[in-house]
Amino acid sequence: MSFEFLNYSFDEATGVAEFRYRNGAETFAEKVTFAIKRSERYDKKALERALFLAFMVLGTSYYKVAAGREVKVGGKLDEWQAKFFDKVYQEGLSQFAFENGLTRDNLAHFVANEDANGGVVNSNSEASVAWSGSTEADVLEDERVLVLVSGGKDSLLTLEMLREQGAKCYAMYITSQESYPEIVDEAAGEMNPVIVRREIDKEALKRAGGMNGHVPVTIINEALALVQAILLRCGKIALGIGMEGMEAHAWIDDLPVNHQWSKTAEAQKLLREYVKQYISADLTIDLPLEKYDELAIAQMFAEKCWTKYGDKFSSCNVANYKQDANNRELKWCGKCAKCANSYLLFAPFVAYEEQKKIFGHDLFEDADLTEIYKGLLGVDGVMKPFECVASRAELKKAYRDRLPGYGELPFEI
């Protein structure tokens, strides 16, 4: 049995793309609605190439229900692309593999086609793009930067830094829910936010059952942002990624188990090269925070953004991003690894009373978080939590440098 990438289509009248897959007896169809300007012309060839990338990486959500080595791609791949998608489906799904008892050998292995033409899907291919309207092409000439924003510190800081440097920006938010955070409207400023909506095929996933686990969501979001940038004729996208993900949680033979592989320098370098080779040399991905670690980013956020966003932002997935949740007003659950990580990172830079007002209590003195903090700080052999968290060295420094008023953890570091 193999996982099949069936086909995809795009309707430029509505901005709706549909991506279709088959895994065993079940077929899946995901719809993504992009923001469009009907009066704009855009580079159709670049769009087709970007849609192909989105098609390939969105497939991780449906591949994982019955993961296997063999995959069938309707489009054409060269050797470089095959190796790139091996990385996405192996390193990018390493946490999924760890949690489901799989090895690298069990995960997808892509094979190049002899007649590969850079991943462009021809109109007579099984994976063809259904076009409507004109075929005129235009350059990427909108001077605005398309910035991916969420409710977290990294993206908000990125947006504010770019504006501080004089850049004009679109704030883009990707959602699979009916609502999106109010803070996105505030971050967008004078422009309306660019909202991209994913309709994940939940019913087919429910019918299929099978395995579940984390997917490389950052590369998925970047692929969708590339499509959106071309539709808006923006030459640059930006997102808030610091020096993250290099510290593996565990190993499966030669496969590092990493919750956030798609945020690593390796993944971002590969993606930039993919964009340059296979989509457009005029389209770039900017990472203004890539030279900073999470502790430095927390300090910059406290200095530049706390007054504006301190009581509104949140990095907590539990409180805000469960399926069908209303996340207009962001919150912190105060019980998860993301909350514990954020509380630690800000302890040297934000007064105790400020954080206590947000979380309701001192998280260092919360007995329910003891094991989580041991994992974050590398104590008693507890594994680092599967979340986007800082390195243990940074978190130890943050704890040592916490401001007066914060309590103490109930173990030696």
341 within domain boundaries = no
334 within domain boundaries = no
* Cβ atoms of 398 and 347 closer than 8 Å: yes
Going by C-alpha positions, the residue among 225, 265, 223 that lies closest to residue 242 is 265
Chain position carrying tokens 């924003």:
149
221 within domain boundaries = yes
- pLDDT tens per residue, range 180-201: 899 999 999 888 899 999 999 9
pLDDT at 246 (0 to 100) = 76
130 within domain boundaries = no
- Residue 250 in this model has a pLDDT that exceeds 90: no
- Residue 75 in this model has a pLDDT that exceeds 70: yes
406 within domain boundaries = no
pTM score of the predicted model? 0.91
- Residue 357 in this model has a pLDDT that exceeds 80: yes
Which amino acid does the sequence have at 353? E
Residue 147 confidence class, pLDDT cut points 50, 70, 90: very high
pLDDT at 191 (0 to 100) = 84
Domain that holds residue 39: 3-121+139-286
* Cβ atoms of 279 and 292 closer than 8 Å: no
Query: What does the pLDDT average to over 124-134?
Result: 37
Report d(CA 116, CA 122) in Å as an integer: 11
pLDDT at 90 (0 to 100) = 98
134 within domain boundaries = no
Looking at per-residue pLDDT, the higher value among 324 and 123 belongs to 324
- pLDDT tens per residue, range 318-339: 877 766 667 788 999 999 999 9
pLDDT at 132 (0 to 100) = 35
Mean pLDDT of the chain: 90
Looking at per-residue pLDDT, the higher value among 160 and 260 belongs to 160
The answer to which of 10-14, 147-151, 159-163, 243-247 has the lowest mean pLDDT is 243-247
356 within domain boundaries = no
Chain position carrying tokens 């580079």:
43
The answer to which of 22-26, 138-142, 230-234, 314-318 has the lowest mean pLDDT is 138-142
Burial 278-311 (b: 16+ CB within 10 A, else e): bbbeebbbbbbbeebbbbebbbbbbeebbeebbe
196 within domain boundaries = yes
pLDDT at 397 (0 to 100) = 97
Chain position carrying tokens 């978190």:
395
- pLDDT tens per residue, range 33-71: 999 876 668 889 999 999 999 999 999 999 999 999 999
Domain count within the chain? 1
